[in-house]
């Protein structure tokens, strides 16, 4: 595996993963899929990581899967398993994730951004579910993510026409959380990641899971899940810490530590 295709850096409890194939607009090849799998697995298993930022080098976020060498050898299902494993790792990551999008985010690259919890882009960013132009159908979770984010009709528009849309349109559709000036995006994402990392880790992880599961569950199931989550939260040190901080008119410090002997 080429170690430099994915740059990993840590700022205390925030992990930033930067796709680093700028000569291909960060299109993802086999080495980059493997590196993403390795880093996301490590982030999932490291309690010191409290937030993850995914970005791209060289003025682009990600141009999707790298098709420049044609169809890779081996059975297509095996190749798709590697793609799907990364999508699942990102989707089930217990900590908040942010996509920092500059330049193009197309195909699996756009769905990589949509797989994050929050998306921050510059006004110049461009997005496309480009699969149809390549004779392909949606992957990296796009068939699940898009209808839940924009509704079935708009999802079909994006998938079937494979249009390129700008950041303003993506924001209007709810596919970008914030559009930030290029001179301000670094500071904005740094501040956002720090705020997320300072949150109660167990409670945030459960809220993420509840929201995701709630998209396909009944109201009764959602209420039962919320009750289980609050029971766990009240057994950590974070809820009492938040109550004390509120009473003392100060900001709480969250650790996620289990508080019941």
Digit-coded pLDDT (tens) for 25-83 = 999 999 999 999 999 999 999 999 999 999 999 999 999 999 886 556 677 788 888 89
Measured CA to CA, the distance from residue 163 to residue 113 in angstroms comes to 17
Residue 144 lies in a domain: yes
Residue 169 lies in a domain: yes
Q: What is the CATH number of the domain that holds 53?
A: 3.90.226.10
Give Rg (Cα) of the chain: 19
Measured CA to CA, the distance from residue 200 to residue 50 in angstroms comes to 9
Structural domain ending residue among the three candidates 197, 232, 256: 197
- Number of domains observed in the structure of the chain: 2
Same domain, 64 and 146: yes
Domain, as residue range, for 156: 3-197
CB 176, CB 101: distance < 8 Å: yes
Against a cut of 0.85, is the pTM above it? yes
Query: Which stretches of the chain are assigned E, i.e. beta strand?
Result: 6-11, 14-19, 51-56, 97-101, 104-106, 118-121, 126-128, 164-166, 178-179
| Cα end-to-end distance, the chain, whole Å | 44
Residue 142 lies in a domain: yes
- When pLDDT is averaged across residues 247-256 and rounded to a whole number, the result is 94
Residue 253 lies in a domain: no
CB atoms within 10 A of CB 107: 28
Tokens 């459960």 appear where?
206
DSSP lists the bridge partners of residue 258 as 236
Residue 261 lies in a domain: no
Same domain, 156 and 216: no
Same domain, 94 and 190: yes
């Amino acid at each position: 595996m080429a170690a430099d295709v994915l740059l990993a850096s840590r700022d205390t409890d925030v992990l930033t993963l930067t796709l680093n194939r700028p000569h291909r607009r960060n299109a993802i090849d086999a080495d980059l899929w493997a590196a993403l799998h390795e880093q996301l697995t490590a982030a999932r298993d490291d309690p010191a990581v409290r937030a993850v930022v995914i970005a791209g080098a060289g003025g682009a976020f990600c141009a999707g899967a790298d098709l420049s060498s044609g169809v890779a050898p081996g059975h297509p299902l095996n190749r798709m398993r590697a793609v799907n494993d990364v999508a699942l790792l990102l989707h089930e990551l217990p900590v908040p994730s942010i996509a920092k999008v500059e330049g193009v985010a197309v195909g699996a690259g756009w769905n990589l951004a949509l797989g994050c919890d929050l998306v921050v882009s510059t006004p110049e960013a461009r997005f496309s579910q480009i699969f149809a132009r390549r004779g392909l159908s949606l992957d990296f979770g796009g068939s699940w993510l898009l209808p839940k984010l924009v509704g079935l009709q708009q999802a079909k528009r994006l998938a079937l026409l494979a249009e390129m849309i700008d950041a303003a349109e993506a924001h209007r559709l709810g596919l970008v959380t914030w559009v930030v000036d290029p001179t301000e995006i670094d500071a904005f994402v740094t501040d956002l990641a720090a705020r997320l990392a300072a949150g109660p880790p167990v409670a945030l992880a459960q809220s993420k899971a509840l929201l995701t599961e709630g998209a396909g569950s009944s109201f009764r199931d959602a209420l039962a899940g919320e009750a289980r989550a609050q029971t766990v939260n009240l057994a950590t040190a974070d809820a009492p810490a938040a109550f004390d901080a509120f009473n003392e008119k100060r900001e709480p410090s969250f650790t996620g530590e289990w508080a019941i002997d």
